[in-house]
Structure 1
């Protein structure tokens, strides 16, 4: 059987310098919460991450926008496309409300400006 590969692999867990190559909006399947999804990508692979537009999501969105140099109180997610930053890729497990089973996904966290990718920074 011949197969055609049209996608990069998921990024390995750990810190990576990436570009935001795609930004899409949507609504969560179970609670209808609006979100935007970023595709973080480099030569080695990619990871997607949803940013929920609710109160718990505010600090995470603020960290992302700050890492790419957008510090406005109101910003357009289209401004994110093409921006470079450093992310930490990790796996996250949660209970899928639809099936009741555990589900594990790759996600991004600890967003840093390029050049500030160390987890320990000088004070």
Structure 2
């Protein structure tokens, strides 16, 4: 059987220098909370991360925007595309409200300007 691969692997856990290659918006499946999803990518792979537009999500969104140099109280998420930053990839486990089962996903955290991170992975 021939298999055609059209996707990179997930980034390994740890620190990476990445570019935001895609930004999409949506709303959560369970409560309809709006979010935007960023695809963080480099030559080694990618990770997607959702940023929920809720009060608890505000500090995380502020950290992301600060890391890519976007200032102000109002910004367009499309401004994020093409921006470079340092992230830490980790696995996060949560209980799925639909099925009640435990799920583990890869996510990003600790958003920093390039140069603030201790890693030098290439893009």
The residue correspondences of 1:28-43 to structure 2 (distance < 5 A) are 28-43=28-43
Q: How many residues are paired up?
A: 119
CA distance in 2, matches of 1:98, 1:31: 11
CA shift for structure 1 position 99 = 1.1
Q: Which runs of 4+ in 1 moved over 6 A?
A: none
Structure 2: which 5+ residue stretches go unaligned? none
CA distance in 2, matches of 1:118, 1:35: 29
Match of residue 78 from structure 1: 78
1:50 counterpart SS class? strand
CA shift for structure 1 position 31 = 0.5
CA distance in 2, matches of 1:115, 1:101: 39
2:70 counterpart SS class? coil
CA shift for structure 1 position 42 = 0.1
The residue correspondences of 1:79-98 to structure 2 (distance < 5 A) are 79-98=79-98
Question: Normalising by structure 1, what TM-score?
Answer: 0.95
Structure 1: which 5+ residue stretches go unaligned? none
